[in-house]
Structure 1
Amino acid sequence: MGVSKRERRARGTGRQTSEAVTIVSVSRHDDDEEQQQRVNVCDKRHAQDTVRRERGCGGIWSVRRASLMAACLSEQERGMLRAMLRAHTCGELVAGQKPITIPADATVAEACDILARNGILSALLEHPEGSGLTGFAGYFSYRSLLYWFLKRHPAYSDEGGSSEMPHSAMDLREVIAQAGASDTKAVDYCAERGKESKVLLPSDSLGKAVLLFGEGLHRCSVVENDCVLGTLSQSLTLRFIANHSAEVRPALLHTLAEFGLGESRAIVLEQRKNVIEGMHIMQKNKLSALAVVDQNGRLVGNLSLSDIKYIFRTRSYSMLWYTAQNFIKILRERAALEENAGMDTFPFFDISRERTLEIAIQKMIATRVHHLWVVDTAGVPIGVVSITDIMRVLSVDIE
């Protein structure tokens, strides 16, 4: 008996459900003909462009949302977005940056120290002096280190973690080779300079970067004459846009529902589960954050890959076996002491689909997160809005 395209795709995701995982599904249409029929009311050029992006982003983005965006933005509002994104350049955003690099022959501990001292999540690997090699060897990040670590530590271990992580002096190249994470593949500019998804020129428009970020890229380097000027990230770009929001404010006053945002599935972690289980869930589902919920399913916090920087910075690897509840409590207490002298710093990770895009952007910047969880009236997460989603909205009319 034949297997349908939809069944093959479902099997290929390898999703697993347990007490720790709840998946809130969203409607998807795999048949391109059916998708095209649903967007006859939409501008044809926007629909075709969005079908292309959906194929390139694993089907996360739906044509129906492009239809909603095309309908809710007036021609004047589209013109404002186009003008703003064309008026600013990538070089403008990274001006004054001092690129942080890590020697490719550094130890894991040394690399983590560099990331921690500079408050960053990843850095380029630079070929060591005297190697005869030019360019860069790739990226090193907390994510790549974590994925390598997860392969050696089962999620449901009762033994707990040790105070000293084994192989802490392993060569970074070996860690990267074993991690196998998508963002740790070689980024050698001599070999991949032609890939626009990896490298931007300082003269490239902000719109070009926004378009790439809307397709799922999280960061890219701005390069000129074989010299890296800086790293342009989703969060840096979002902050820049917020600082120039007056130029496009009418377009930002539409609600998330009008843009079709907040319908993406939410994957959650029950707060009594341990951190390493959450990290395994993120790895298997190729996510960077989970909504943390109580036993009644209500949102109580957020667990992201960026949170693990505290574990590796302090080398408190046993915290991977803490419950999500206790781990989040520690992070909040540390943030209160270090940043606000004891003030309550509980971040607001939730949002309603009836709030405007402007408010969503402001919340992301204020809480320094890449995701906002859409909750129902009971506080149960039913969807998620990411910076990638917002970048897609902003780039819907970029040619």
Structure 2
Amino acid sequence: MAHPEYSAARNLLSGTKLAALLRAQHVVTVKDNASVDQTLRVLAAHRILSAPVVVGEVAPPADKAPEVCGFIDIRDLLSSFLQELDLKSLADAKMLKRMRILEEQGARFAGKSIRDLRSLGSDGWFFPRAAAEKASLREIIYDGFLHHKEAKHVVFGGTRSRQVVHRLALFDTSGQLSHVISQSDVIKYLYDHIEELGALGDASIDAIGFVKGAVISVRPETPALDAMVLMEEKGISAVAVVNAEGAIIGNFSISELRTIMAEHFGSLALPVGEFLALEHGTEYAGYAIPSTGSSPRASPSEELRGFEDSQAHKFAADRNMRRRDSHPGYEVGQTLITCSPEATLHEVLDKIVANRLHRVYVCSETLVPCGVVTLTDILHKLVDA
């Protein structure tokens, strides 16, 4: 049954054509014969997570567009790398040995052609531009992002099935790709027209149903590689990093890996807290610093045992006490944007758009996560209610 408070949102989406979102843009593509290394460098150079793949064997005539095969994204590449590994042997190895193995495997993996990878999906969908421009935003969200049919025309890869996609590519009558529209673009449009969402914009995140009590998380001493395996098993693109008290101190996500190169894969052996700190240009020792009144936390590896009794720990603990009022995420170099269950949808959209986020964690007063609001969650609520 349709919820009456969603009627204004439904009217906005049904009354808006996709053409209203289109702006001139340059579409970055990757050739299907590109290596993993080349693909990672293209994505990192443009700071994007995904790109359409075009056939690269033979240069097409000037008057003919290249054939589009599908999309390639960071998650596909990392999933394929995981399948190259003997995870059981890695789990039994000490950190430095794991790092060396990952570096060696990463060097070999870098030279592979993306067309030969084991795990490929299509985190994108393709529309003729003329038809897409005439479609309502609701139709694009429902049939494009959330409930698209199996991509029978996509010939690239195919071992990963995507129930939801995060971007749509538009092609003109000559087959040239003209635009890539993402879920973020749609969310930005909704935010710019927040007054047209009616009462829904003022509804709390709790009332809308985003507070579910369970958020998949890892401890900061968990190896980054293990966090990646967990995300792959759960079919999610992020996990919360929480301390011994369950408070969130970081976010480990595919977005955090958008600039990773194959030669950096050895760093995935690091504890996830240290990995995030390294990515953000800071240092992290929080996994060994107990908060006041708590028992010491376990060190992530044998190399770090005994740290709790050292002068270095005393210095780090003192620094931690002096910085305890800092913003959430400071321990790993992040600025975490969170919200309370009482926050309104308007407030959450403001946080997402202003900070270019893909998710906002819903937390208690003690920063224990009790829900997460993703772009996909918001779009589902708006079109499926």
| TM-score, length of structure 2 as denominator length | 0.71
- CA offset digits 1:89-121 (Å, max 9, x no partner): 323323202111111111211111111121211
2:58 maps to a residue whose letter is G
Note the 1:279-290 alignment, pairs <5 A: 279-290=228-239
2:270 maps to 1:322: yes
Give the Cα–Cα distance (whole angstroms) in 2 for the partners of residues 120 and 166 of structure 1: 24
- 1:264–1:128 Cα change, 3 Å: farther
1:361 to 349, 360, 372: 349
The Cα of 1:129 is off from its aligned counterpart by: 5.3
2:239 maps to a residue whose letter is L
> Do 2:12 and 2:197's aligned partners in 1 also have CA atoms closer than 8 Å?
yes
Equivalent residue number for residue 170 of structure 2: 222
Local SS of the residue matching 1:330:
helix
1:114 to 18, 42, 45: 42
Give the Cα–Cα distance (whole angstroms) in 1 for the partners of residues 260 and 39 of structure 2: 14
Equivalent residue number for residue 86 of structure 1: 14
Note the 1:302-381 alignment, pairs <5 A: 302-312=251-261, 315-333=263-281, 346-381=334-369
The Cα of 1:366 is off from its aligned counterpart by: 3.0
1:150 to 82, 88, 103: 82
Give the Cα–Cα distance (whole angstroms) in 1 for the partners of residues 372 and 185 of structure 2: 20
1:327 maps to a residue whose letter is F
Aligned length: 304
The Cα of 1:184 is off from its aligned counterpart by: 6.4
Give the Cα–Cα distance (whole angstroms) in 2 for the partners of residues 218 and 372 of structure 1: 17
Local SS of the residue matching 1:220:
strand
The Cα of 1:168 is off from its aligned counterpart by: 1.3
Give the Cα–Cα distance (whole angstroms) in 1 for the partners of residues 78 and 244 of structure 2: 27
Identity of matched residues, %:
22
1:170 to 112, 126, 133: 112
Give the Cα–Cα distance (whole angstroms) in 1 for the partners of residues 237 and 336 of structure 2: 18
1:90 maps to a residue whose letter is L
2:371 maps to 1:390: no
Give the Cα–Cα distance (whole angstroms) in 2 for the partners of residues 131 and 310 of structure 1: 28
Q: Which has the larger radius of gyration?
A: 2
The Cα of 1:200 is off from its aligned counterpart by: 6.6
> Do 1:253 and 1:357's aligned partners in 2 also have CA atoms closer than 8 Å?
yes
Give the Cα–Cα distance (whole angstroms) in 1 for the partners of residues 176 and 370 of structure 2: 44
Equivalent residue number for residue 208 of structure 2: 259
Give the Cα–Cα distance (whole angstroms) in 2 for the partners of residues 213 and 261 of structure 1: 20
2:335 maps to a residue whose letter is P
Equivalent residue number for residue 58 of structure 2: 130
The Cα of 1:283 is off from its aligned counterpart by: 0.3
1:127 maps to a residue whose letter is V
1:139 to 71, 82, 90: 71
- 1:146–1:103 Cα change, 3 Å: same
- 1:388–1:348 Cα change, 3 Å: same
The Cα of 1:241 is off from its aligned counterpart by: 1.6
> Do 1:139 and 1:183's aligned partners in 2 also have CA atoms closer than 8 Å?
yes
Note the 1:156-195 alignment, pairs <5 A: 156=91, 157-158=93-94, 159=97, 160=99, 161-162=102-103, 165-175=107-117, 178-179=118-119, 181-183=120-122
Local SS of the residue matching 1:310:
coil
Local SS of the residue matching 1:151:
helix
The gaps in structure 1 that reach 5 residues or longer are 1-42, 47-69, 335-343
The Cα of 1:394 is off from its aligned counterpart by: 2.1
Runs (4 or more) in structure 1 with deviation over 6 Å come to: none
Give the Cα–Cα distance (whole angstroms) in 2 for the partners of residues 264 and 202 of structure 1: 40
Equivalent residue number for residue 133 of structure 2: 202
Equivalent residue number for residue 9 of structure 1: none
> Do 2:9 and 2:198's aligned partners in 1 also have CA atoms closer than 8 Å?
no
Local SS of the residue matching 1:230:
strand
Local SS of the residue matching 2:56:
coil
Give the Cα–Cα distance (whole angstroms) in 1 for the partners of residues 17 and 131 of structure 2: 10
1:97 maps to a residue whose letter is Q
Give the Cα–Cα distance (whole angstroms) in 1 for the partners of residues 213 and 114 of structure 2: 35
The Cα of 1:134 is off from its aligned counterpart by: 5.7
Deviates more, 1:232-241 or 1:285-294: 232-241
Give the Cα–Cα distance (whole angstroms) in 2 for the partners of residues 246 and 258 of structure 1: 19
Equivalent residue number for residue 52 of structure 1: none
> Do 1:94 and 1:229's aligned partners in 2 also have CA atoms closer than 8 Å?
no
Equivalent residue number for residue 56 of structure 1: none
Local SS of the residue matching 2:84:
coil
- 1:129–1:264 Cα change, 3 Å: farther
Give the Cα–Cα distance (whole angstroms) in 1 for the partners of residues 239 and 183 of structure 2: 19
1:105 to 17, 22, 33: 33
Give the Cα–Cα distance (whole angstroms) in 2 for the partners of residues 214 and 278 of structure 1: 26
Give the Cα–Cα distance (whole angstroms) in 2 for the partners of residues 264 and 135 of structure 1: 46
The gaps in structure 2 that reach 5 residues or longer are 148-163, 283-329
1:380 maps to a residue whose letter is V
